Every structure is written in C-alpha cells, then in structure tokens.
Chains A and B, each alone.
Chain A
Amino acid sequence: MKISKSQVPYLLLFPGFAFLFTFFVLPIINLAQTSTQTPISGGDTGQYTQTFAFSNYIHAFTDNKDQFLRSFVYATLATILALAISYPLAYAIAFKSGKFKNILLVLVVAPFFTSFLLRTVAWKQILGEEGFVVPTLRSLHIIGQQTTLTSTAFAVVTGMTYNFLPFMTLPLYASLERIDPRTIEASGDLYANGLTTFRRVTLPLSMPGVVAGTLLTFIPAAGDYVNASILGSPSTKMIGNVIESRYFKIVDYPTAAALSFTLMVAILILVTLYIRKAGTEELV
C-alpha cells in the first residue's frame, strides 16, 4: 500500500497523539467522572461509585475557599514580583550587554540547573535563624527581634518567585531581543524621553513576552505545593497541599478530583480572559 501525501501528517501525529490521548485526555475525563462519585456504603476506604454528586464541588469549594484564595493571591504576587525582577534584567541583557549577551543569558538560567527542591531548601536556610537575612534585618531594626521569616507567607512567596523566575525571564528576553533597536532610536529622534519611549515603544513591543512569561509563571505557581510545604506553615497551605493530602493521607479521591478539576478550569478561564485582554495570539 502506498502512502499518499495527504496522509503523512496524520501518520506523524498518530503515535504522539495516541499517547497524549491515553495519558492526558483520558485521565482528565476520568478525573471529571471521579469528582462526582460518592463512597460505597459499607465499602472499604478508596471505593467509590458514580452518583453524579455535584454537591462534591460545593463542599470541596466551601471547605477550602481560603486555600483557593491563598493560591491565587500567592501566585499573583509571585508573578508580579517575578515580572518586576525579570523585566529590567531581560532588558539589560537584550540591549546593554554587548558581546556578553550569550554569557549573561546562560548565567540567568544557570541557577535553575540545581534541583528545584534543593533551591527551595536553600531558601529555608537563607531565611532561617542561622541564615544571614534575619540577623541583618534584626540589627537594622527592619523586623522585630522576635520576628521570624520561615514558615510565613513571605517565605512561600519568596520561594515561588525565585523558583519560577526563568519561566518569566526567558520569554521576556526572547521578545525584547526581537525588537529592532532602530524603533527605539526613532522614538528618541522624535523627542520622546526615556520614559515615554519605554511606555509607548518598548513595552508594547515586548507584550507577547510579558503575556507568555506571566502565564508560564502563574500556572505552575497556582498549583504548586512544594514551596508552601517546605517554606510555609499550616496557615500558608495552598490548594495543592489540600489536593495532595486528600489523595495520600485521607484517600478521598472524589474531593481531590473535584478540587483538581476546579483548579484546572479556574486557571483555564483566567488564562483565556487574560489572553483576550492582552490580545496576543502567538503564544505557543
């Protein structure tokens, strides 16, 4: 049998898409099914039957709305901080580093070659009693003598900001680097000062990078629970922590599934609204 040319793309897609269908689409469908199940009466823990109990969602949400809210607040804070830290850095590398451009770009990504978990533990040490931050801030009377930084929301957001930073820096750099420096010069020739040039020329041209970077930072941050469990305390629990403990400690799959599904849908809605608003389509 001879393969016709129009069949080639489908043949190329088939193995990968079959894989993604089995191990990504099916699990999501199954997740949606699990989320409306209820325990079998008299059954063992972990045995559930489909009863289309949509009330699972109401319970899951009302019981955990603090954690939901916290996840979105922390993730938003971390995203804003990451943008504030990354933008000048990406800008400097793209426009002001001359022949050191490639070296600096490697250096920006390099810290993330150490393990994500080790980095988080390092922050625990840095912000801990034995680290250098707490004694310095105390001696400068910026924080009180009794104030600690570990096990606080501050520590969790610090860790999240740091850990997801390359997801922000790289897309920002990619879009800044593509800007033709002549457009910036032209703006100066037309008597725009530095601030106006940035606001009217550089920033709008780098918007695709800003959008991609904020999404790539926000999505993993909102679902993260590693930073919250290593750097936080029970009062900084995020929705990820709840889902994890529902699965492993309480073995309450329907609630865990309802929470996961809610998180996914909430993020997808936010992402869609955000892309609409920011108005770029060249994301992927």
Chain B
Amino acid sequence: MTRVVQDAPIPTIPFNARISRWFGRNVLRIYMIFGFTYLFIPVAYTFVFSFNDAGKSNLIWQSFTFRNWQNPCGAPEVCNALGNSIKIGFLATTFATILGTMIAFAIGRYQFKGRSSSNLLIFLPMATPEIVLGASLLSLFLLFKINPGFWPTVIAHVMFCISFVVVTVKARIASLDPKLEQAAMDLYANEFETFRRVTLPLVAPGIAGAALLAFSLSFDDFIITNFNSGTLITFPKFVYVSAARGIPAQANVIGSSMFFLALTIVVVGQLVKERKAR
C-alpha cells in the first residue's frame, strides 16, 4: 500500500487555485494595507502641504519650502487661534476632569437612590447632537445677556467633556480588584489613607486618559465652539473660516505637529504601560 502512495505522482495545484488560496489566506492583510492607506491619505496630504510654498492660499502645490516650519507664526492669526484653543483646552480639561472624576467615583463606587437616573444624565449629552448642545447653550447665554466669548466657550467645553471623563474613569474603577483595597484596610489604613495610597494611584491612569481625551475633544471641537465663542477665534474655527479662500500653510504645520505630538504621547504611554506590566 505504502509503495503505491509513494509512487503516485504528486498532485500539482493549478495556478489559479494557488492564487485564490493565497488570496484567501491573506485577504485580511491586503484589506489592512488598503484600510491604512485610506486612513492616512488625508494626514499625508496635510503633512505634504505644510511644505508648500503657497503664500496665502494652500490649495494647489507650488514648490517645496521649509519656511512654514521655521516660522509657524508667519501667519499671525494662526498662532493667535492656536493660543486660544490651548488655553480653552487646558481650562476645560481641568474642570471637566475634576467634576467628571468625582461623578465617576460616586457612580462606580456607591449604591444610592437615583443611580440609574444619574447614568442617564451622563449619557444624554453624548446622545445629543453637538449642534443642539451648542445652540441651546447659546440661547441660555443670550437669555441672561451674557455675550458669547472666551468663558462661555470654556463652560460649553466643560459641559460636553464631563460625560466622556465619567465614562472613561468609571471603566477604570470597574476594572479594579476590590481585594487590594480590602488588603489596605486589613493593614489598618483608614478610609482616607486607603483612597490616597491605593485607590487613587490605581485609578490615576484612567484619569490621565480621560484628561487627554477631554483635551483632544475640546481642542478639536468646532460646532459647539462656533455657537458660543462670538468673535473669539479658535484653531478649528480659523480653519473653517479660511477654508473658502485658502488656508495658510502654517495651519498645516500646526495640524501636523499636533499629530506627531499626540502620537508621541500615546506611544510613550503604551511603552510605560508595557514596562509596568512586565
């Protein structure tokens, strides 16, 4: 029997079948290449056009220059807008993180009357379109004769960032092992000490993540800002206003820098996490 098998000619797989089998095995890989290309084309465009020697309107490629990178404030409005966005981002992040973390601890750690309606109040702002949030808040400010501007924008950003902070921190609290806190109590730590030396350090990465999320939401927000900022120009607003007549290449420099900065923060965060896990 064995002889027969050995003597039998090795069946050759037809070329077509080999191709389709290779394709079947690698279809997800091929898909990933296409997918990531698609994801990065607009980023590549933004980056490439930051080197465009385009003068005022940066829609058509002219010639290569480093000038925009050497002098990102060459278009002064860009830096002014960026400064406003950073200021608003920091203030909104600080308030939203504090308020949101407190809510997350209440909902994540305690059973109390009204807990499910609390969850609903956190969910609703996330399920409301930005334009409704922005427009309704503007109506309130106008009702109380408060002019839109810097502080109304900060308030608006805190309002829509809180929910995202709560959700992020709550997830972290839910993943904590209660045994660690029990152990601290067993070792005669009182409630406050347990919180300060055990709970808070364990939740800290969640809070940091929530703060980063809040900052990026605030920094990138256009619709709610547009309603509540009056004449104040933020970075997204600047891009929107100048989109029709062409955006200075310095805006691309700032957009690209934000991209690389955020990427660095995330990669460093990942490395720290992996080192700790080891």
Contacts and interface: CB of A to CB of B under 8 A. Distances in A.
A1 interface: no
Contact of B251 (A9, A118, A123, A283): A118
Contacts of B99: 15-16, 19
A283 B123 CA distance: 9
Interface in A263-284: 263-264, 267-268, 271, 283-284
Given A107-B36, A130-B59, A225-B131, 4 more contacts: A16-B102, A16-B103, A108-B36, A223-B131
Contact of A23 (B100, B140, B226): B140
A244 B220 contact: no
Interface of A is mostly: helix
Contacts of A256: 135
B133 to A, nearest CB: 7
Interface string B145-188: 00000000001101100100011000000000000000000000
B23 interface: no
Contacts of B131: 223-225, 240, 243-244, 260, 263
Interface string A174-189: 0000000000000000
Contacts of B139: 27, 30-31, 34, 253, 257
Contacts of B28: 88, 91-92, 96
19 contacts: A6-B112, A12-B106, A20-B162, A27-B136, A108-B39, A113-B216, A115-B236, A115-B239, A118-B239, A124-B243, A126-B42, A162-B38, A220-B130, A226-B223, A240-B129, A244-B131, A244-B226, A268-B127, A284-B122
Interface residues of A, number: 77
A111 B43 contact: yes
Contacts of A9: 106-107, 109-110, 112, 115
A122 interface: yes
Interface of B: 28-29, 31-32, 35-36, 38-43, 45-46, 49, 59-61, 99-100, 102-103, 105-107, 109-110, 112, 115, 118-119, 121-133, 135-140, 142-143, 155-156, 158-159, 162, 166-167, 216, 220, 222-223, 226-227, 235-236, 239-240, 243, 247, 251-252, 255-256, 258-259, 261-263, 266-267, 270, 274
A8 B111 CA distance: 11
Lowest 3 CB-CB distances: which A-B pairs, in order?
A223-B129, A113-B262, A27-B136
A118 B127 contact: no
A129 B169 CA distance: 46
Contact of B155 (A23, A257, A283): A23
Given A13-B118, A89-B35, A102-B270, A113 B112 contact: no
B158 A19 contact: yes
A226 B216 contact: no
Contacts of A253: 139, 142
Contact of B263 (A19, A113, A128, A247): A113
A1 to B, nearest CB: 17
B239 to A, nearest CB: 4
A31 B42 contact: no
Contacts of B252: 118
Contact of B132 (A8, A20, A31, A110): A31
A89 B31 CA distance: 7
Nearest to A128: B59
Nearest to B41: A126
B122 to A, nearest CB: 7
Contact of B156 (A23, A219, A257, A261): A23
Contact of B46 (A16, A108, A114): A114
A96 to B, nearest CB: 5
A39 to B, nearest CB: 15
Contacts of A26: 140
A125 B135 contact: no
Contacts of B125: 20, 24
Contact of B39 (A111, A120, A271): A111
